[in-house]
Amino acid sequence: MCCRIMMRPVFWGLLFQWLTNHHLICCVRPNILFIVLDDFRPLLRCYGNQLINAPNMDNLARNSVVFTRAFAQQALCGPSRTSFLTSRRPDTTKLWDVHYYWRKSAGNFTTLPQYFKENGYHTESYGKIFHPGIVSGKTTDYPYSWSVPPYLPSTQQYKMKKVCPGPQGKLQMNVICPVNVSTQPEQTLPDIQSTQHALQFIGKWSNQSKPFFLALGYHKPHIPFKFPEEYLKFYPIDDIKLAKYHTKPPGLPSVAWNPWADLRERDDVRSLNVSFPYGPIPESFQKQMIQSYYASVTYVDSLLGQVFSALDRNGFSNNTITVLVGDHGWALGENQEWSKFSNFEVATRVPLLVSVPGLTGKPLYGPPRPQTSESLSVKTHHNQYQTSDGLVELVDIFPSLAELAGLPVLEICPQNSSNTTLCTEGYSFVPLIRNATNSHISPIVHSWKSAVFSQYPRPSVQPETDSDQPRAVNTRIMGYSIRTDNWRYTEWIQFHPNNFTVNWNKVFAKELYLRDTDSEEHNNVASSPQYQEIVHKLSIKLRQGWREALPLNNYT
């Protein structure tokens, strides 16, 4: 039987070990709230975007460690989520598209929620955590990962339906889709449904002693930008700015281009008659998409405020670790690009907030902070947050949460881990949390990971209609990208779909960007004579892979 002790929350992993060693407690575990936003790039105020109005996420950030350089392993929902939920990289899960289930195609790998479930947690999922469908066995990985069947909102079935207001009152299947919720099918929206069910869970669990792992997955700001129309008021169109470089870079290899086919199938984009594959999209419509993306974020923030308030109201504030993350980013017109489907930083970099009550700050919850037009003018300084500039990857979340909760440490996976059910291809970032929250600890960023890795498949050198989401069987090129402190380097190499292997001797194109002076990755200098030594060194490092980039020492 698990006893309950009321005390000030501290670093849970160390607490659990100490109490267990001294026979003072039979079971003490923090709850876990795991929040995933779909297609969410790091544009909160803690990342320097003063225009975004998201007071509840900002409050979370103030009581978290904000990771400023966190990266997805592939900028596509199914592969990314499978990767970070198993802590294995796409080349290990054998998932680069959305047509396979890793338990059948790669190995019976233990997942993040499954590990907590096997260690005494009650695990529940609301909304989009695993990518639904074949990717998660058509059961969203139940019963392996979840104590009860996951909840998927019924109104998500209308994402490809004509439910958006169009000209002359005609309904269309649009990208830009602010709506009157009362006129929508079932008079609600997917993220509203998921929030309501999560609130019910929190209320009923207040009388339980078993710790919970609650996963809450929001569909926004993924397209269509379907949100309650009142959120547009926070972002006057005249305040919306285009990306600094919103034209196609002259040195961009054609294989690196993603032609944003997901936008082109929408009625409002079709009506623009944008040429394939490069466009561009008219600037007025670009501003409307940016406006709608921002409004979608504010909409989700208001729902999160309800969740945070419910956790506080039901007594979970002091013992719930919260992680908020995006599954990958989304281009908002940088380099004339939109959507994800690439190795650009706008597609691979994500927000990552980790809150551990008693370690990263005061309990983060409380009444939801209202969004007001006046709050848009509030300036937030970077030094108001506890930040870590260490290079981290989404595969690091699994071992980090396990350590924070005091669960057994995950071992690094062997070279061939197909028969290894539990291991990690990431590395716990708990030392970075300790470093960010304790001024007496010497900085470790420069002895941390020396690089992080992402990848993306392509069917051909020239953009095609399936270049954004090629099936594995149609993939002929794999773009491998390495991000170091100062550089992003990518090689597009030959891929053999018959046996899922690559030929490093056949390189179709290279990209090199100096991040310090070219943050939007507009100038590819891979062919410049002055950078050939850098290209050579990064090429070697890319081929050595993620194992050689791990920290040299373990920090305790």
- 71 - beta bridge partners? 349, 393
Q: List the structure tokens of 140.
A: 């969203």
Cβ atoms within 10 A of the Cβ of 306, count? Answer: 18
Q: What is the pLDDT of residue 171?
A: 97
CA–CA dist 164, 271 (Å, integer): 15
Q: Label each residue of 353-383 as H, E or C.
A: EEECECCCECCCCCCCCCCCHHHHHCCCCHH
What are the residue ranges spanned by the domains of the chain?
A: 30-440
Q: List the structure tokens of 332.
A: 């908002």
Amino acid at 421: T
CA–CA dist 533, 298 (Å, integer): 45
Cβ atoms within 10 A of the Cβ of 272, count? Answer: 16
CA–CA dist 30, 357 (Å, integer): 10
Who contacts 374 (Cβ-Cβ below 8 Å, separation ≥6)?
A: none
Q: Are strands 477-483 and 487-496 parallel, antiparallel or unpaired?
A: antiparallel
Cα angle value 117/120/121 (rounded, 5°): 55
CB 155 within 8 A of CB 190: yes
Report CA-CA distances (Å) from 410 to 28, 342, 392, 407, 448.
Answer: 20, 30, 17, 9, 18
Is 131 considered catalytic here? yes
Full-model pTM: 0.93
| Region of 388 on the Ramachandran plot (φ > 0 left; ψ -120 to 50 alpha; else beta) | beta
The secondary structure element, H or E, covering residue 114 is: helix 112-118
User: Angle, to 10 degrees, between the axis of helix 397-404 and the axis of helix 12-21?
Assistant: 40
**Chain centroid to CA 384:** 23
Q: Which of 131, 222, 328, 522 is catalytic?
A: 131
Full pLDDT tens readout for the chain, 556 residues:
343 333 333 444 555 444 434 333 345 799 999 999 999 999 999 999 999 999 999 999 999 999 999 999 999 999 999 999 999 999 999 999 999 999 999 999 999 999 999 999 999 999 999 999 999 999 999 999 999 999 999 999 999 999 999 998 899 999 999 999 999 999 999 999 999 999 999 999 988 889 999 999 999 999 999 999 999 999 999 999 999 999 999 999 999 999 999 999 999 999 999 999 999 999 999 999 999 999 999 999 999 999 999 999 999 989 999 999 999 999 999 999 999 999 999 999 999 999 999 899 865 555 566 665 444 333 334 468 999 999 999 999 999 999 999 999 999 999 999 999 999 999 999 999 999 998 766 666 567 999 999 999 999 999 999 999 999 999 999 999 999 999 999 999 999 999 999 999 999 999 999 999 999 999 999 999 999 999 999 999 999 999 999 996 444 3
Who contacts 441 (Cβ-Cβ below 8 Å, separation ≥6)?
A: 434, 435
Q: Which residues of 209-227 are buried (b: 16+ CB within 10 A; e: fewer)?
A: eebbbbbbbbbbbbbbbbb
C-alpha count within 13 angstroms, C-beta hemisphere, residue 153: 27
Q: What is the pLDDT of residue 27?
A: 53
3-state helix, strand, coil in the chain (%, to 5): 35, 20, 45
The per-type count for the chain, helices as H runs and strands as E runs, is 14, 18
C-alpha count within 13 angstroms, C-beta hemisphere, residue 377: 2
Q: Are strands 122-127 and 386-388 parallel, antiparallel or unpaired?
A: unpaired
Cis amide prior to 277 (ω within 30 degrees): yes
Q: What is the DSSP string of 179-202?
A: E-GGGSGGGS-HHHHHHHHHHHHH
- 502 - beta bridge partners? 495
**Chain centroid to CA 213:** 18
Q: Which of 2, 22, 26, 77 is catalytic?
A: 77
Report CA-CA distances (Å) from 96 to 99, 135, 180, 418, 550.
Answer: 9, 10, 37, 17, 24
Superfamily of domain 30-440: Alkaline Phosphatase, subunit A (3.40.720.10)
CA–CA dist 404, 412 (Å, integer): 17
Q: Name which of 16, 32, 20 is nearest 401 in CA terms.
A: 32
Who contacts 297 (Cβ-Cβ below 8 Å, separation ≥6)?
A: 37, 40, 43, 52, 54, 220, 221
CA–CA dist 58, 300 (Å, integer): 13
Cβ atoms within 10 A of the Cβ of 275, count? Answer: 8
What are the start-end ranges of the E strands in 378-420? 386-388, 392-393
